Amino acid sequence: MNMMKPQTSIFAIVLLLLLAPTIQAAEKPNLILLMGDDHGWEETGYNGHPDLKTPVLDEMAATGLRLDRFYAAHPSCSPTRGSVLTGRHPNRYGTFSPGYSLRPEEVTIAQLLGKAGYLRGHFGKWHVGTVKAGSPTNPGAMGFDEWVSHDNFFELDPPLSDNGGPPVIHPGESSAVVIDETIQFIKKAKAGEKPFLTVVWFGSPHEPYSGLPDDLALYDHLPEKYADSGTVSLTSNETGRKTKRPLGDVLRERYAEITAMDRAIGTLRDFLAAEGLRDNTLVWYCGDNGTPPSGALEAYSPLRALKGQVYEGGIRVPAVIEWPARIPEGRTSEFNAVTSDMLPTACELAGTPIPDNRPLDGLSLLPLFEGELDERPTPIFFWNFMSKGKPKVESKPWIDPEWQKGTTPLVKLSGNIPTRNFRNFHHPEIFPTDYLGGCVMLGNRYKLVIHDGKSADDAKVELFDLSVDSAETKNLADSEPDTVKSMQKDLRRWQDSVLKSLTGEDYSE
């Protein structure tokens, strides 16, 4: 029998101790991407909101990386979610607005991390296609191993589809339900000793609003506080159609949903800590677009406009990243980042290459985590495509319409249908009018905003210096014509690239 000499044994132990940090650093991090539905930038305690209670997000902002200039790729939900999955602007694949699906040919973050050995799960709102079995754009078809999901948003006791099955009521507060499903999935990943990607998209705080009694009680003072603030339009929980209610009453319910979502995130963090997973798990929370009109406290918000618009209030959203192993102490960053950055960041962390056969619009934020990046090397572009009308070519659906019919019910009716259907169309020819729609080029200092006109030549142009005017109050377009001209050229080149993708040319290789 060969016995290891004492000095050899000691040497081996010392070597292992020396290599331990390297081995630990090489371990692939777990990734959890959380997203609130219609959660605006100003709607957190850490951003100084006068009423909201978000203690968990506040703690994450204090101890992790707080991104104060983080943007949704679009001022509405479906397109932004597409950008998370693909790292690409949603106009490249025809996800123009809510109700437009992905295209099956897109390469997603789940598919890419699957190649790196990750177990992948989706939980909550999907809204980039139907979640039913057989759909070419359900979470499974787009790379997820498991999903408990909804075609759109949901309230208390949500009806969710388990891996494409018929929708089943999951009793409870919706954010807590989604996190409980997430925890069960993570337990499986841990038992199988696999790194995991979990994409968790809450149904809160999208209207129509509802809340648990204890959460509502936290905001019982709001109806009186905002008694003189008038009424807002939103969906009735009783009829599924529009109604008008006092703003204070609505905010009481909306804020109860945000607090419940915040608490659910805390439940997840506690679970990660108890299981010894928190240190090497990156938890990334953000919103999908700005605050909607039904939840707008405009007198307080420091940002201009709301959901649906390309001003800051429509696209800047709350964002915090927690990863104790690599972000050991709290830091606040003014770096311009966007939801399209999630895919390239995740790929670099997982050690898997990004697609090289199609243009991406995001970049990896790993250098930012490590303190090696102060300013974004490339601009961010935004585009509310065809906001004055539908695309010119809608004659040939990209996906069989039968597969685009939703199954999961929701309170808010679409016409008389208590669910959501989707669409996506071939767009083989580019028309001059395809360049219309609200557009933005966001640099490290200047933000160019181009609004709809009857043609691209008569569109309204605005230029803001966000370094001194984040409220976008002073239009510098007339005083900075050279800056405007240069940025317009860059924006047009980017639009050319996007429209080339829209024709389907990215899939020809």
Q: What is the domain-level CATH number for residue 416?
A: 3.30.1120.10
Name 455's Cβ contacts closer than 8 Å, sequence gap at least 6: 432, 433, 436
Does residue 2 lie in a domain region? no
Question: CB pairs under 8 A, 24+ apart, for 492-496?
Answer: 492/435, 494/381, 494/441, 495/383, 495/435, 495/439
CATH number (domain holding residue 191)? 3.40.720.10
Of the residues 329, 346, 377, the one at which a domain ends: 377
Alpha carbon distances (Å) from 374 to 68, 76, 166, 336, 361: 13, 28, 48, 9, 19
Tell me the residue range of the domain where 445 lies. Answer: 383-507
How high is the pLDDT of residue 454?
65
Residues 457 and 490 occupy one common structural domain: yes
Per-residue pLDDT, 14:
38
Place of tokens 């607005």: 97
Please indicate, yes or no, if residue 212 is contained in any of the structural domains.
yes
Same domain, 369 and 432: no
Per-position pLDDT tens, the chain of length 509: 444 444 444 444 334 334 333 333 358 999 999 999 999 999 999 999 999 999 999 999 999 999 999 999 999 999 999 999 999 999 999 999 999 999 999 999 999 999 999 999 999 999 999 999 999 999 999 999 999 999 999 999 999 999 999 999 999 999 999 999 999 999 999 999 999 999 999 999 999 999 999 999 999 999 999 999 999 999 999 999 999 999 999 999 999 999 999 999 999 999 999 999 999 999 999 999 999 999 999 778 899 999 999 999 999 999 999 999 999 999 999 999 999 999 999 999 999 999 999 999 999 999 999 999 999 999 999 999 875 555 555 579 999 999 999 999 999 999 899 999 999 999 999 998 899 999 999 999 999 999 876 665 667 999 999 999 999 999 999 999 999 999 999 999 999 999 999 999 999 86
Distance between CA atoms of residues 186 and 76, nearest Å: 29
Q: What is the 3-state secondary structure (H, E, C) of 246-273?
A: EHHHHHHHHHHHHHHHHHHHHHHHHHHH
Whether residues 275 and 368 share a domain: the answer is yes
Residues 172 and 94 in one domain: yes
> Beta strand pairing status for 168-169 and 159-162?
antiparallel
Directed axis angle between helix 247-274 and helix 55-63, to 10°? Answer: 50
Q: Which long-range contacts (CB under 8 A, 24 or more apart) does 371-378 make?
A: 373/335, 374/335, 375/335, 375/336, 375/444, 376/335, 376/336, 376/337, 376/444
Q: Are 396 and 390 in contact (CB under 8 A)?
A: no
Q: Name the CA dihedral angle for 435, 39, 129, 131, rounded to a multiple of 10 degrees.
A: 170
Q: Tell me the sheet residues that pair with 149.
A: 124, 161
Whether 436 and 345 share a structural domain: no
Q: Does residue 454 form part of some domain? A: yes
pTM (predicted TM-score): 0.94
Residue 215 belongs to some domain of the structure: yes
Q: Are residues 359 and 424 in the same domain?
A: no
Same domain, yes or no: 315 and 388: no
User: Number of structural domains, the chain?
Assistant: 2
pLDDT value for 10: 44
Report in angstroms the alpha-carbon separations of 382 from 27, 96, 118, 379, 390.
35, 12, 31, 10, 18
Q: What is the pLDDT of residue 61?
A: 98
- Measured in degrees and rounded to the nearest 5, phi and psi for residue 143 equal 115, -5
The predicted structure's pLDDT at residue 390: 55
The answer to whether residues 174 and 163 touch, using CB atoms and an 8 Å cutoff, is no
| 215, 231: one domain | yes
Domain limit, last residue, from 324, 342, 377: 377
Clarify whether residues 357 and 467 are in a common domain: no
